[in-house]
């Protein structure tokens, strides 16, 4: 069967015969109008309108919309006029085609201000008739599916425009499937290498995942059965772009993002949804703070579900969406469910009404807005829910990623503002710089000409711009200036020890330089000024006063640069090993505790910024460190021996091992404390462990 025959077969399935007849004549008309034209791929042009119509047929869109889809490029690309279309196919079709032709003239570069006017035109076309945008989205989807025949530059431009404009609109209209597909296709053409690498990684772990998914799925089904909840359970695959986005947005590793298992439960009605969530929470413990009730409070695009995240049987988080069959229809098809399920269900009517209201409000905003830019700003708030929108004290709106702080804001305004910020007023009240901003906050940064970036800001900024500039500043901060500051700080420390700079002899400095391997006195002073070394520590070293009373479980000072002369302990919570990004915390009476950057306990202590110290591993650190590793294995006789021998072969030792009690399943989780000299070594150990066929998962444990 040809593509057009397939299309008409589908159309006959839900349209009246006279409508199908009109569509036949629209198809003939379009084919002869496009006759002789080819697409970049070499296919006859008519293949494109057919494909677009097919996408719309899957949503059961009505005859005028499908007619317009078949004719959508004729006015633009052939001699046919608007008037001819109206004469042959009626006013509605002509208006839809006209709306689409106008949209086609718009080329978006990005969401830059210069494009605001075009964006506004598009949304106004949509506000007049939502079918226009549905056809446009189908048109874009087919163009994205066939993008590979375009030049690389064009591919990138179209992909970016899709990601920034069309995908968010699809999301706003609740068209979930097309939203995800547009994102994945854009990602593929915008970042081809990243896409390939990620796709490969996902494929590589798919086999292991399937087993885990099936096991969890069975457990959930059984529990729902026991609780007499009538529901279907399915596993969900994460889309590549959403994996990528999570990795970038939350700086997580592929493992961390991908180790989350997704499930969907479709129950027969709303009470069953709540019964199901109760049953689940008695099966696996819910992670506090992760339960969301979008049934009681739907998302703006009409989406309804209960969301919960559970601690799964292998220590993996499980994300579950629970909804009724009606809610599922809307979650999948959004505004298109109006055509897809021509029923009188109140939830569908309500969604229709809400979409209409939203589109009307766009019209209102546009008539009130002084200019396109302002209109666009209002709109972004609707379309990009993952961002926060805040105002400068002059009333200009700025978009920042969720979780951004005043320091991120300051750098977003201007690098100089960031570099010199000292305090912030949010809604006219002074708040700490690290406070995350919320939608609608009015933010005023207070600067001082002498102020400089503080290394501790790196603990809470979330934007790349802020991070880069803070790092850059710290690196290039005037060496002289740091050395001068360092000299003053050292003098203070020496005075506290009843000495002073002038009283020091040159041999004391020489000894210190020899011991530390640093080139010059100026370098040490600059280190003090930059906060890499503590004045008090250097003062003690110069005066040869040792502070090492507490030798017990302390490390020699040599392992951590910036800690010389202090008692250093590695935090028990995160157990850092060389190669991990680390930070030191000065604990009165206990010296310094070293944590990893991503350690959760840092956040609890983060208000005490003065006690944090930027430290680094010393390259010469050469010993074995304890590290927590959790292994999920299939229960087989002799598996522990195999694991132990792989660990030994990798040059590591087992310091401690604990097995989780047997729960009758065929898998067991074993908690090891292993010894590794650094991250590279740990990864070697992990690789060895993965050679054991019974090993399902190996993860490093922190906290
Ligand atoms: Mn087209």
The rounded Å distance from CA 73 to ligand 1 centre is 6
The rounded Å distance from CA 74 to ligand 1 centre is 9
Give yes or no for residue 276 having a pLDDT over 90. yes
**Residue 171 included in any domain:** yes
Any idea what the CATH number is for the domain that residue 63 is in? 1.10.3210.10
Q: Taking the CA of residue 169 as centre, how many other CA atoms within 13 Å lie in the half-sphere pointing to its CB?
A: 24
CA angle 182, 187, 193 (to 5 degrees): 150
Cα separation, 440 vs 460, in Å, equals: 21
The rounded Å distance from CA 471 to ligand 1 centre is 47
pLDDT above 90 coverage of the chain, percent:
25
Structural domain ending residue among the three candidates 343, 376, 401 = 343
Q: 236 or 32, which is more confident?
A: 32
Cα separation, 115 vs 109, in Å, equals: 7
The rounded Å distance from CA 332 to ligand 1 centre is 24
Q: How confident is the model at residue 620 (pLDDT cuts 50, 70, 90)?
A: low
Max mean pLDDT range (298-307, 443-452, 543-552): 443-452
pLDDT of residue 555: 45
pLDDT of residue 356: 67
Looking at the fold, whether 590 and 688 belong to one and the same domain comes out as: no
Which stretch of 217-221, 243-247, 408-412 has the lowest confidence by average pLDDT? 243-247
Residue 398 pairs with which residues in a beta bridge?
390
Give yes or no for residue 213 having a pLDDT over 70. yes
* Catalytic site includes residue 77: yes
Q: Other C-beta atoms within 10 Å of 658: how many?
A: 9
Q: What is the mean pLDDT of residues 216-244?
A: 91
Cα separation, 411 vs 472, in Å, equals: 13
Q: What is the mean pLDDT of residues 259-284?
A: 91
The rounded Å distance from CA 61 to ligand 1 centre is 17
Q: 409 or 40, which is more confident?
A: 409
Which stretch of 62-71, 230-239, 473-482 has the lowest confidence by average pLDDT? 473-482
Q: 332 or 16, which is more confident?
A: 16
The separation between CA 94 and the C-alpha centre of its own chain, rounded to angstroms, equals 42
* Helix ranges (DSSP H) in 285-371: 325-333, 337-340, 346-368
Cα separation, 298 vs 176, in Å, equals: 15
pLDDT of residue 378: 58
DSSP state of 317: E
Range of the domain at 673: 625-701
Q: What is the largest CA-CA distance in the chain?
A: 104
**Residue 367 included in any domain:** no
pLDDT digits (tens, 9 = 90+) for 635-656: 877 788 888 888 888 888 888 8
**Residue 411 included in any domain:** yes
Q: How confident is the model at residue 19 (pLDDT cuts 50, 70, 90)?
A: very high
Q: What is the mean pLDDT of residues 151-163?
A: 88
Looking at the fold, whether 520 and 554 belong to one and the same domain comes out as: yes
CA distances from 649 to 190, 654, 681, 693 (A): 43, 12, 12, 16
Looking at the fold, whether 648 and 602 belong to one and the same domain comes out as: no
Q: 345 or 98, which is more confident?
A: 98
Give yes or no for residue 376 having a pLDDT over 90. no
Q: What is the mean pLDDT of residues 587-614?
A: 73
Structure token digits, residue 130: 């939502």
Looking at the fold, whether 593 and 656 belong to one and the same domain comes out as: no
Count of structural domains within the chain: 5
Structure token digits, residue 466: 């802020």
Residue with tokens 């709106």: 397
* Catalytic site includes residue 19: no
Looking at the fold, whether 48 and 178 belong to one and the same domain comes out as: yes
Looking at the fold, whether 18 and 167 belong to one and the same domain comes out as: yes
pLDDT of residue 342: 63
pLDDT digits (tens, 9 = 90+) for 86-101: 999 998 898 888 877 7
- Which entry of 76, 107, 368, 386 is annotated as an active-site residue? 76
**Residue 355 included in any domain:** no
Any idea what the CATH number is for the domain that residue 402 is in? 3.10.20.30
Give yes or no for residue 262 having a pLDDT over 60. yes
Average pLDDT over the chain, rounded to an integer: 82
pLDDT of residue 252: 77
pLDDT digits (tens, 9 = 90+) for 672-686: 889 898 888 999 999
Cα separation, 521 vs 525, in Å, equals: 6
* Helix ranges (DSSP H) in 575-621: 600-605
pLDDT of residue 552: 34
Looking at the fold, whether 61 and 155 belong to one and the same domain comes out as: yes
Looking at the fold, whether 262 and 149 belong to one and the same domain comes out as: no
Residue 625 pairs with which residues in a beta bridge?
676
Give yes or no for residue 385 having a pLDDT over 60. no
Q: Taking the CA of residue 81 as centre, how many other CA atoms within 13 Å lie in the half-sphere pointing to its CB?
A: 3
**Residue 114 included in any domain:** yes
Q: 235 or 112, which is more confident?
A: 235
Q: 607 or 134, which is more confident?
A: 134
Looking at the fold, whether 281 and 209 belong to one and the same domain comes out as: yes
Which stretch of 211-225, 247-261, 364-378 has the lowest confidence by average pLDDT? 364-378
**Residue 372 included in any domain:** no
The rounded Å distance from CA 211 to ligand 1 centre is 43
Any idea what the CATH number is for the domain that residue 646 is in? 3.30.70.260
pLDDT of residue 380: 58
- Which entry of 3, 31, 77, 332 is annotated as an active-site residue? 77
Residue with tokens 């988080």: 317
pLDDT digits (tens, 9 = 90+) for 540-585: 888 876 444 333 333 444 467 666 556 778 888 888 988 888 888 8
Q: How confident is the model at residue 512 (pLDDT cuts 50, 70, 90)?
A: confident
pLDDT of residue 572: 84
Looking at the fold, whether 413 and 534 belong to one and the same domain comes out as: no
Give yes or no for residue 268 having a pLDDT over 80. yes
CA distances from 31 to 78, 350, 429, 673 (A): 11, 39, 66, 70
> What is the sign of the dihedral through the CA atoms of 234, 238, 239 and 242?
positive
pLDDT of residue 114: 45
Structural domain ending residue among the three candidates 169, 190, 211 = 190
pLDDT of residue 636: 78
Q: For residue 685, give the H/E element and its range.
A: helix 679-690
pLDDT of residue 280: 93
Looking at the fold, whether 487 and 525 belong to one and the same domain comes out as: yes
Q: 257 or 229, which is more confident?
A: 229
Give yes or no for residue 18 having a pLDDT over 70. yes
pLDDT of residue 110: 45
Cα separation, 629 vs 513, in Å, equals: 39
Q: 78 or 356, which is more confident?
A: 78
The rounded Å distance from CA 49 to ligand 1 centre is 7
Rounded to two decimals, what is the model's pTM? 0.55
Q: What is the mean pLDDT of residues 663-669?
A: 79
pLDDT of residue 547: 43
**Residue 157 included in any domain:** yes
Structural domain ending residue among the three candidates 315, 343, 371 = 343
**Residue 667 included in any domain:** yes
Q: 207 or 229, which is more confident?
A: 229
Q: What is the mean pLDDT of residues 433-461?
A: 86
Residue 322 pairs with which residues in a beta bridge?
265, 306
The rounded Å distance from CA 100 to ligand 1 centre is 9
Q: 510 or 257, which is more confident?
A: 510
Looking at the fold, whether 126 and 14 belong to one and the same domain comes out as: yes
């Amino acid at each position: 069967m040809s593509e057009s025959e397939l299309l008409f077969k589908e159309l006959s399935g839900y349209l009246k015969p006279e409508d199908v007849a009109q569509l036949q004549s629209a198809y003939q008309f379009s084919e002869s109008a496009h006759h002789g034209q080819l697409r970049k791929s070499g296919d006859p042009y008519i293949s494109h309108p057919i494909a677009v119509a097919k996408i719309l047929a899957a949503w059961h869109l009505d005859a005028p919309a499908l007619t317009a889809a078949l004719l959508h490029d004729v006015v633009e690309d052939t001699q046919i006029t608007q008037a001819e279309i109206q004469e042959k196919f009626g006013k509605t079709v002509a208006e839809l085609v006209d709306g689409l032709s106008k949209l086609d003239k718009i080329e978006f570069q990005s969401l830059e201000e210069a494009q605001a006017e075009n964006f506004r035109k598009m949304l106004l076309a949509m506000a007049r008739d939502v079918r226009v945008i549905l056809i446009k989205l189908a048109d874009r989807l087919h163009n994205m599916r066939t993008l590979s025949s375009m030049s690389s530059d064009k591919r990138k431009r179209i992909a970016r425009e899709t990601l920034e404009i069309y995908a968010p609109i699809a999301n706003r209209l609740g068209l979930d499937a097309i939203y995800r597909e547009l994102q994945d296709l854009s990602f593929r053409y915008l970042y081809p290498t990243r896409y390939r690498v990620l796709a490969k990684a996902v494929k590589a772990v798919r086999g292991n995942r399937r087993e885990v998914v099936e096991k969890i799925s069975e457990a959930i089904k059984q529990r729902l059965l026991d609780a007499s909840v009538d529901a279907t359970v399915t596993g969900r695959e994460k889309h590549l772009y959403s994996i990528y986005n999570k990795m970038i947005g939350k700086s997580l590793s592929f493992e961390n993002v991908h180790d989350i298992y997704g499930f969907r439960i479709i129950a027969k009605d709303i009470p069953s949804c709540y019964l199901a969530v109760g049953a689940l929470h008695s099966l696996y413990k819910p992670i506090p703070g992760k339960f969301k009730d979008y049934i009681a409070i739907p998302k703006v695009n009409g989406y309804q579900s209960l969301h919960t995240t559970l601690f799964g049987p292998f220590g993996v988080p499980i994300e579950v969406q629970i909804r009724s069959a009606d809610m599922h229809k809307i979650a999948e098809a959004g505004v298109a469910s109006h055509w897809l399920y021509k029923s009188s269900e109140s939830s569908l009517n309500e969604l229709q009404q809400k979409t209409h209201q939203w589109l009307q409000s766009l019209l209102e905003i546009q008539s009130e807005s002084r200019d396109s830019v302002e209109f666009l700003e209002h709109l972004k708030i609707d379309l990009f829910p993952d961002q926060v929108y805040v105002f400068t004290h002059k009333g200009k709106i700025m978009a920042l990623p969720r979780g951004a702080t005043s320091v991120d804001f300051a750098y977003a305004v201007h690098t100089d503002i960031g570099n010199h910020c000292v305090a912030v007023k949010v809604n006219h009240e002074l708040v700490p710089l690290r406070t995350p901003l919320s939608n609608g906050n009015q933010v005023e940064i207070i600067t001082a000409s002498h102020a400089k970036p503080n290394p501790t800001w790196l603990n809470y900024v979330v934007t790349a711009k802020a991070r880069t500039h803070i790092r850059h500043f710290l690196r290039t901060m005037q060496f002289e200036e740091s050395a001068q500051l360092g000299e003053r700080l050292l003098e203070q420390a020496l005075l506290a020890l009843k000495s002073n700079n002038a009283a020091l002899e040159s041999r004391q400095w020489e000894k210190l330089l020899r011991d530390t391997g640093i080139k010059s006195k100026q370098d040490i002073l600059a280190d003090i000024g930059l906060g890499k070394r503590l004045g008090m520590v250097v003062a003690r070293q110069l005066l040869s006063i040792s502070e090492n009373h507490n030798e017990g479980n302390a490390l020699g000072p040599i392992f951590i640069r910036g800690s010389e002369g202090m008692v250093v302990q590695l935090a028990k919570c995160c157990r850092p090993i060389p190669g991990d990004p680390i930070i030191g915390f000065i604990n009165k009476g206990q010296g310094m505790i070293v944590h990893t950057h991503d350690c959760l306990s840092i956040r609890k202590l983060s208000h005490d910024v003065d006690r944090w110290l930027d430290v680094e591993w010393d390259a010469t650190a050469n010993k074995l460190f304890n590290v927590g590793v959790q292994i999920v294995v299939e229960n087989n006789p002799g598996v522990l021996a195999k694991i132990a021998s792989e660990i030994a072969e990798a040059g590591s030792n087992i310091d401690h091992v604990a097995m989780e009690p047997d729960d009758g399943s065929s898998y067991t989780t074993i908690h090891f404390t292993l010894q590794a000299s650094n991250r590279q070594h740990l990864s070697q150990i992990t690789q060895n462990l993965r050679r054991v066929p019974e090993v399902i998962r190996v993860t490093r444990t922190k906290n």
